[in-house]
Amino acid sequence: MSKLFYKKISLFLVLLSLCGFLIACTNFAKKDDDGGKTPTPNIPSIIISGGASSVKVEESTPKFVATLYNYDGTSVPTYKWTVDPSQAGTFGNSNNAESVFTAGNQSYSSVKIEMTASVDGNLYKISKNISIVDKDNPIPNIPSIAISGGASSVKVGESTPKFVATLYNYDGTSVPTYKWTVDPSQAGTFGNSNNVESVFTAGSTSYPSVKIEMTASVDGQILNASKTISIIQDGQTPPPSLEVPNGPTSPSDPNIKSWQVSSDLWIPNSNTTPAAAKARFQRFLSREDFEILFPNRYGMGEWYPSNPATQPVFDYYSYDNLLTAAEVVANIVLIYGYRKNPDGTLNSYAPQTSVLHKNNGTKAYIMSQHPDFDVDWNINKPIQYQAIDFGEFLAHQLDNDNKREIATMLAHMTQETSGGEGVQGRIDKALWWNEETSYIWGWTDPGYVSTEDKTYPPTPGQSYHGRGPKQLSWNYNYGLFSDIFFLDKHVLLDNPSLLVQNGALGYMTAIAFYMTPQGKKASMHQVIDSNYKFDDQAYADSHGFKIGFGLTIIIINGGLEGGLTEADPRVGTRVGAYRNICRRNGANIDGEKLDTAGMSAWE
């Protein structure tokens, strides 16, 4: 792979990190979700202060306070507190400038608290998002610690840049104590293991995966954070890293057209930012649960002794890579445009595909379109757009749906990557492979190549066989996902092996696939929502569709796995893994349709 390619990746990672920070700090005052921005000078405005960012079910927040700024009149304002959804809770005095919010008996990942003030015939609105958590769950914003800096790999005998520990959400006055450790202990040493910053020096042996851990103690609380790195021999190439939300600021092809997305199609939302997406992953799938569920994933646990490697092996399916993927894809909005026929139906087979990276504001780029999209008989028809915000993953209103969602995606990954039988729900060898095994064991002929596709033509000599947790296949899929992630189809068309070199990128393909509808077929994200309604109920009834995990199997592989019970090993693996993960994260799946018996393919 060329040095120019890696420089290009590094450049847009830096640009995105900066631009992502800028867009996160920019919003209109009347849509301020954090309630803490300085109001526009000399124009009446309102802000929300106090309250809390989260509250447990059936408990109350401190008072939310609405303050009207820059109003010089003499009229007395009227106030109105509301909550969306309305059943999430109540305000003690909804018509006062100050009011306590009491949560109902249902947890929500995101609830909108809104204040509307009326004065001199003008309305001023502001909102703030909070979460409602189960009583046995910890309230967010408790002290926590994170690791930054350092490196994702280091050569034997050499040192990393400084790893830095940062303590968040601690308002006390005690001085924390810190301790850096490494597992296995013989992998290397820290220069100053009791400092908040420390360099790690690798020993003389290479390791596919080494766990760097920081333990901080403050006010009797023990806080932990860890990071996985690899130690490589001289001459080995470490896997490329995607440790920050990435996204180029513009396509590499100057001929690609852009357009401004209107607010009736998509608007920035504080609940779907990269930071919010990462926080939700950590909430609904803890590092501890992940390690317990997938101890023998590729390069880890029992895997490594069982599979002598001919190349450097690393923790491809690491928890950190999953968090990075969640952050990265949350920066992306995929937009499909369909020509609308006079009878109201859509030409869904011939879409136009645009991609919006949130660090670009509301600018979207037209990356591809079907040849029939602008033909004579179609070009004058109106366009109906559909926006898919990848940042909405795990952002259902009901916490139970979010728990089921993470279980759904991981259960399907289990079937795609398993190294053992899973009929009884066994997932001890899930995430075992990251590539089709025939290619792992030496097959070299290019596979899954479609020379007929003109939008994403194959690069000569490259193979587009299944790679990553979703086993992405075919050049037209590699090209599409390359457009989505990099605004450049050539990145993955020219370098498809990047998917097995970078675990975060692999996870990104799985999340994006999970979130994306396919023509008339809904996405798995849509149908796992308890409140999902079919666009065509008659069609759904005729195919036996029932909302639940079983319907996500129909979406993935209904042609081969439709109409089957758990006795089928493929369906059994998926359902068994789903049950195990739901049992681990506490999701309630009582009465849910889990297999595909009675359901046929969704065409």
- Taken as a whole, the chain contains a residue count of 603
Q: Which amino acid is at 503?
A: G
Both tokens assigned to 332: 């992306």
Structure tokens given for 73:
């009149």
Burial profile 401-411: b = 16 or more Cβ within 10 angstroms, e = fewer = bbbbbbbbbbb
**Catalytic residue (one of 327, 416, 435, 561):** 416
Enumerate the β-bridge partners of residue 207: 231
Task: Provide the Cα torsion 288, 294, 297, 302; round to 10°.
Answer: 100
Element (H, E) at 483: helix 475-486
Q: Which residues pair with 78 in a beta bridge?
A: 118
What is the distance between the alpha carbons of residues 501 and 240, in angstroms, rounded to a whole number?
7
Residue 530 CA to residue 540 CA, distance in Å, equals 16
Give bridge partners of residue 83 from the DSSP assignment.
113
Beta strands in 330-481 (DSSP E): 332-339, 352-357, 363-369, 383-389
Dist. CA 386–CA 380, nearest whole Å: 19
Q: How far apart are CA 548 and CA 589, in angstroms?
A: 9
Q: Rounded to the nearest 10 degrees, how much is the dihedral formed by the CA atoms of 32, 36, 40, 44?
A: 80
Dihedral Cα 551, 555, 556, 559, nearest 10 deg: 100
**Is 603 known to be catalytic?**
no
Of 512, 276, 506, give the one whose Cα is nearest residue 390. 512
Rounded-to-integer distance, Cα 400 and Cα 446, Å: 43
Nearest to 419 by CA among 428, 411, 409, 410: 428
Helix (H) or strand (E) holding 147: strand 144-149
Q: Are 316 and 301 in contact (CB under 8 A)?
A: no
Q: What CA–CA distance (Å, rounded) separates 551 from 264?
A: 30
Identify which of 166, 211, 165 has the alpha carbon closest to the alpha carbon of residue 188: 211
**Pick from 322, 150, 148, 152: which is nearest to 232 by CA?**
152
Catalytic residue annotation: 416
